[in-house]
């Protein structure tokens, strides 16, 4: 066991990290069972350089004599367009040869005005050397994943359905006003959650799916579950008033927290490699709650406008209870994230999720039931100051602890890469220490926007590597996570080379 920053760092097991070189350099073994690939070199470097691995082997085919710019395997004396490379010869049938027009663009050129032939004054002279053939890479197209696409579509439809129902009651003019007012609480909670997510950002499409799950799917079925709880308890007690109280204090917290947390569980099941720390679960739970919050606020604002209590409701919902739903569901989300990243025991994982869910339900029920406990508005504000504010401060401290713990775990996970020479200690600090990260980004900005962007991507890639290493140290290698670490290693290699080139940094 080694130690880093006060935390015991598990020593890597045999075969999990590249082994030290002795004599001749054997092929490097990548952490947690990675297969060495040509992009990263064939041996572990003895110290960090501008790239993680050795550069790829140069082309062994000599350049043709007489034309230093001719591509390998092409004669310099050949006139006209050089021959296609072996890679291009293996291209799809019907595809144009490298350097040639596509059929559609050829027709486009032919439709233009005819140009004068050789011999005219403006006709260009023959080039001293034929232009080198090069192939423009195909743009990388990443289609919207099925889960995110279905969730976003269904969630958006259900959200609009709920909002349109309220607009029909309030009218289009008031509906636009209430929608604008809902932007205030939404901007507060989204800004906070993006701040929490800044260390190792989650994919945008998955974050949008979590938000629309809460604002569409969860709130759509929550209305049904709340009505069902009210009807069942009213029928059981033969007391409609008791059924109303039960639905608000017990039924709503149980049903709503369960439905919001289902979005996090779906992400864990379908996007397991996206979850690399408990904080990721907290984030997705908070986003699901944020979507739920904005639609619920819209309904509350419409009802309050009818009752003449809009501004009182706005003050309570925006300034006093804006983080309520986020606080409740984030506890369940954190527990789900912990269960799938920090323990291998099914029993411990289920116990943690149950505890987080019950804690969120309890806090939700206390908030909903506070209006039934006191008999005056002044007493309610006093209860809020004595109970809700301390709970909110405690939750903020918990989130801060989770953020610090994530950085610490990432540092621990990067230590095997340091010990085997893939990265240097100062890069670990640059990733995991907020002040060092700001300094690195400011330094990279001297090379221009592209340099700063490359530094950001480099930092994010290393954070992913470190956190995934911790997960696999606890739960064992996972195929998709291994593939993600290979992609992160490749990304870090490329981005490091970019910002070092743009800033003029040199290897010491």
122 confidence band (pLDDT: 50, 70, 90): low
* CA distance linking residue 499 with residue 458, whole number of Å: 9
Reply yes or no on whether the pLDDT at 90 is more than 50.
no
Query: What is the reported pLDDT for 135?
Result: 66
Q: What is the pLDDT of residues 433-444, one digit of tens each?
A: 999 999 999 999
pLDDT exceeds cutoff 50 at 163:
yes
pLDDT score, position 449 = 95
pLDDT at 82: 42
Please determine, for residue 21, whether its predicted confidence score (pLDDT) is greater than 60: no
Q: How far is CA 312 from CA 171, 308, 499, in A?
A: 21, 9, 52
The least confident of 114-118, 272-276, 306-310 is 114-118
pLDDT given for residue 167 in this prediction: 81
The residue that leads in pLDDT, 258 or 139, is 258
Decide if pLDDT at 176 tops 60: yes
- Give the 3-state secondary structure of residue 489: helix
Q: How far apart are CA 453 and CA 196, in angstroms?
A: 20
Contact (CB, 8 A) for 215 and 291: yes
CA angle 145, 146, 151 (to 5 degrees): 105
More confident residue, 380 or 135: 380
Model confidence band, residue 417 (pLDDT cutoffs 50, 70, 90): confident
What is the percent of the chain with per-residue pLDDT over 70, rounded to a whole number? Answer: 75
Q: What is the pLDDT of residue 350?
A: 96
pLDDT of residue 197: 95
Q: Which two tokens stand for residue 25?
A: 């350099």
Cβ(461)–Cβ(488) below 8 Å:
yes
- Mean pLDDT for the chain overall: 80
- Residue-level pLDDT at 60: 38
Top-confidence residue, 186 or 55: 186
- Longest alpha-carbon distance in the chain: 103
Report, as an integer, the average pLDDT of 74-81: 40
Is the pLDDT assigned to residue 134 strictly greater than 60?
Answer: yes
Which pLDDT belongs to residue 142? 66
Residue-level pLDDT at 489? 87
**Cα of 394 vs its chain's centroid, Å:** 26
Per-residue pLDDT at 228: 95
Looking up tokens 């080379």 gives 497
Pull the structure tokens for residue 342: 């920090």
Nearest CA to 180 out of 315, 297, 326 is that of: 297
Q: pLDDT band at 92, cuts 50/70/90?
A: low
Asked if residue 380 lies in contact with residue 371, where contact means CB atoms within 8 angstroms, the answer is yes
Flag the least confident range among 82-86, 313-317, 342-346, 464-468.
Answer: 82-86
């Amino acid at each position: 066991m080694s130690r880093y920053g006060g935390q015991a760092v598990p020593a890597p097991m045999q075969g999990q990290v590249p082994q030290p070189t002795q004599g001749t350099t054997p092929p490097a073994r990548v952490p947690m069972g990675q297969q060495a690939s040509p992009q990263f070199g064939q041996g572990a470097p003895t110290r960090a350089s501008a790239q993680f691995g050795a550069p790829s082997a140069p082309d062994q085919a000599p350049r043709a004599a007489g034309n230093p710019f001719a591509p390998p395997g092409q004669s310099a004396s050949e006139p006209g367009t050089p021959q296609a490379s072996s890679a291009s010869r293996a291209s799809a049938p019907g595809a144009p040869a490298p350097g040639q027009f596509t059929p559609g663009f050829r027709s486009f050129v032919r439709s233009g005005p005819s140009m004068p032939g050789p011999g005219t004054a403006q006709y260009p002279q023959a080039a001293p050397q034929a232009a080198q053939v090069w192939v423009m890479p195909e743009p990388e197209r990443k289609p919207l994943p099925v889960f995110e696409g279905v969730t976003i579509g269904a969630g958006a439809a259900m959200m609009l359905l709920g909002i349109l129902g309220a607009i029909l009651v309030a009218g289009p003019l008031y509906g636009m006003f209430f929608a604008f007012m809902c932007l205030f609480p939404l901007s507060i909670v989204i800004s906070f959650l993006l701040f929490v997510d800044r260390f190792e950002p989650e994919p945008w499409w998955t974050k949008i799916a979590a938000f629309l799950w809460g604002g569409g799917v969860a709130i759509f079925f929550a209305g049904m579950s709340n009505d069902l709880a009210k009807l069942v308890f009213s029928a059981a007690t033969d007391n409609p008033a008791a059924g109303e109280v039960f639905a608000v204090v017990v039924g709503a917290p149980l049903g709503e927290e369960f439905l919001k947390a289902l979005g996090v569980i779906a992400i864990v099941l379908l996007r397991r490699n996206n979850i690399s720390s408990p904080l990721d679960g907290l984030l997705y739970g908070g986003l699901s709650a944020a979507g739920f919050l904005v639609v619920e606020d819209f309904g509350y604002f419409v009802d309050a406008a009818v009752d003449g209590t809009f501004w009182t409701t706005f003050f309570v919902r925006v300034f006093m209870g804006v983080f309520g739903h986020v606080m409740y569901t984030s506890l369940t989300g954190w527990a789900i994230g912990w269960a799938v990243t920090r323990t291998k025991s099914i029993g411990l994982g289920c116990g943690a999720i149950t505890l987080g869910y019950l804690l969120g339900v309890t806090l939700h029920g206390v908030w909903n039931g506070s209006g039934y406990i006191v008999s005056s508005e002044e007493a309610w504000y006093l209860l809020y100051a004595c109970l809700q504010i301390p709970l909110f401060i405690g939750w903020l401290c918990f989130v801060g602890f989770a953020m610090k713990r994530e950085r610490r775990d990432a540092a621990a996970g990067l230590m095997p890469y340091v010990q085997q020479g893939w990265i240097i200690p100062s890069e670990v600090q640059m990733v995991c220490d907020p002040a060092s990260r700001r300094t690195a980004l400011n330094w990279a900005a001297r090379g221009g926007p592209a340099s700063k962007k490359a530094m950001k991507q480099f930092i994010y890639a290393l954070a992913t590597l470190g956190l995934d290493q911790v997960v696999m140290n606890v739960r064992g290698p996972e195929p998709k996570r291994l593939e993600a670490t290979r992609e992160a290693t490749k990304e870090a290699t490329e981005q490091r080379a970019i910002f070092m080139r743009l800033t003029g940094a040199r290897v010491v």
